[in-house]
Amino acid sequence: MGKGTSLIYSDRSDVGRRRASNQDSRAVLPPASPQQYRTRGWLFLVADGMGAHAAGEMASGIAAERVPLVYEKSAQQSPPLALRRSIEQANAEINAKGESAAEFHGMGTTCTTLVLLPRGALVGHVGDSRAYRVRGGRIEQLSRDHSLVWELELAGGMSREQAAGAAPKNIITRSMGPHPDVVVDLEGPFPIEEGDTFVLCSDGLSGQVADDEIGLFAAELEPPEATAALVGLTLLRGAPDNVTVIAARAGAEEVSTASAGDQPWQLTEEPAGPAGRAAVPWQWLGIAAVSLFAALLLFPKSDLMQWLRSVINADVAEAVGWLGCGAAVLVAIAATLMALLGLLAPAGGEGRVLPPGRQIGKGPYRSGDCAPSEPLLERLAASVEAAAAGLGDADRERTTAILGRVRRHVAEHAFHEAVVALAEALAIYTRAVEQARGDTVRSAASES
């Protein structure tokens, strides 16, 4: 059984280049011991707030504070039940806060939560922030966007590109806070392999950086360098929104394990087992009774078959009788067995428990190639090259030299080295943006 001690993660958030404040929040709840890892695992959360003034920042802050706290206090419940209840309770608190004052009315937030457990990765999700898994040159989106674009695509009749062109990207169809109750998507548990990298991000990242680019940096770089490069790439492309990203790479201690002693996960607060007697499976019992009656009628010594002998050839009638009787007996036995299974099954109802080895939800929802390639790396190099034109002379010269190295590495198929060099160039751009912010703040302070 894994101890959960080999995981490496990094989290990073940036206000972006057009917003005055950061309404994104994030949280990480590590296990304090191997026993805690086995019961509640690692928890990661990204929330993207919505609302005027400080309302969105407050909403996402409540989610980032309350979801981990309630989840940890609910450790006696199954992980999916505890995760659902923690998001529902945080939603109720955000809604109550929104109703308490006019300036907070209608505030809300997305909330995407990832829990890594010995049984696998569990996702609890509301909104259009995202959870990804990167493995073996593939990136998979484990969560479904609650957005108008996705709803149009899923409704059928529209491609992804057509849906994106038909609806604004920023219209979401579900969030925490606007209503007292919220529907929480639960997905997983998804199996974890050594080296799997999980990425959580707000749409400030996914709106500017393509899935294959996210997967490339997450796979080729260590989590701290990957998060820095992804935020840098978002800044380079204008960063019209706040951007938040968490990258977590599983080690040997987080590999999914199966045990014969694993208990089913309870999915509702009602008892999973029978509260009273199990429902009688009348349908199967009825089929068994009818089949037995048919077997008696078709038995070669029955009155019906004796009459049939007088109508058709006796040998044919006997063969028909034995075949029909045997088939009816087999149907009766099968129906009786189904009835017995129904009587022995838990009376809690379908979907109340999740047996080991089973999953809830329909994820992954999208999957794509993110392996390093010449076209992908050239696309990234061209983005950096275009943005570098706006840098100061020294930074522009350094960036141009680095891009020369990137292209040489690509020509030699040294793709990992090319990604590392791209991250170096993105770091130069990030520092330039941060320095410009500092100059703006100092200038505003001196004018006041």
Taking the C-alpha atoms of residue 335 and residue 114, their distance in angstroms, rounded to an integer, is 43
- 102-134 pLDDT, tens per residue? 888 889 999 999 999 999 999 999 999 999 999
**Where are the alpha helices (H) located in 167-238, listed in sequence order?**
203-206, 211-220, 223-236
Confidence of residue 158 (pLDDT cuts 50, 70, 90): low
Residue type, 299: F
Beta bridge partners of 47: 25
Q: Report the pLDDT value the prediction gives residue 260, as an integer from 0 to 100.
A: 67
Token pair belonging to 67: 């979801």
Token pair belonging to 441: 């703040």
- 49-108 pLDDT, tens per residue? 998 768 999 999 999 999 999 999 998 999 999 999 999 999 999 999 999 888 888 899
Q: Report the pLDDT value the prediction gives residue 378, as an integer from 0 to 100.
A: 97
Confidence of residue 332 (pLDDT cuts 50, 70, 90): confident
Tokens 């995407």 — which residue? 112
Stretch 426-445: mean pLDDT: 77
In a 13 Å sphere around the CA of 227, the CA atoms on its Cβ side amount to 22
Range from 169-178, 237-246, 358-367, 387-396 carrying the lowest mean pLDDT = 169-178
Q: What is the DSSP-derived secondary structure letter of residue 278?
A: P
- Residues contacting residue 359 through CB under 8 Å, at least 6 positions apart: 187, 188, 189, 190
Q: Report the pLDDT value the prediction gives residue 311, as an integer from 0 to 100.
A: 73
Q: Report the pLDDT value the prediction gives residue 340, as an integer from 0 to 100.
A: 72
Token pair belonging to 386: 């275009």
- Residues contacting residue 89 through CB under 8 Å, at least 6 positions apart: 66, 70
**Pair 129, 47: CB distance under 8 Å:** yes
**Pair 4, 116: CB distance under 8 Å:** yes
Beta strand 243-249 pairing with 138-141: unpaired
Averaged pLDDT of the chain: 87
Confidence of residue 408 (pLDDT cuts 50, 70, 90): very high
Residue type, 115: V
Confidence of residue 384 (pLDDT cuts 50, 70, 90): very high
Kindly report the number of other CB atoms within 10 A of residue 133's CB atom: 27
Assess whether pLDDT exceeds 60 at residue 211. Answer: yes
Token pair belonging to 361: 């939800």
Assess whether pLDDT exceeds 80 at residue 321. Answer: no
The residue count of the chain comes to 448
Assess whether pLDDT exceeds 80 at residue 29. Answer: yes
260-277 burial: b if 16+ Cβ within 10 Å, else e: eeeeebbbeeeebeeeee
* First-to-final CA distance of the chain: 60
Stretch 27-43: mean pLDDT: 95
Domain residue extents for the chain: 8-258+360-371, 282-346, 372-441
pTM, entire model? 0.81
- 250-260 pLDDT, tens per residue? 999 999 987 76
Confidence of residue 342 (pLDDT cuts 50, 70, 90): low
**Where are the alpha helices (H) located in 142-247, listed in sequence order?**
148-154, 160-166, 203-206, 211-220, 223-236
Assess whether pLDDT exceeds 50 at residue 318. Answer: yes
Tokens 């796979």 — which residue? 219
Q: Report the pLDDT value the prediction gives residue 106, as an integer from 0 to 100.
A: 86
Stretch 209-235: mean pLDDT: 98
- Residues contacting residue 335 through CB under 8 Å, at least 6 positions apart: 284, 285, 287, 288, 291
More confident residue, 349 or 439: 439
**Pair 202, 134: CB distance under 8 Å:** no
- CATH number assigned to the domain with residue range 8-258+360-371, chosen from the 4 options 3.60.40.10, 2.120.10.30, 3.30.930.10, 2.20.25.190: 3.60.40.10
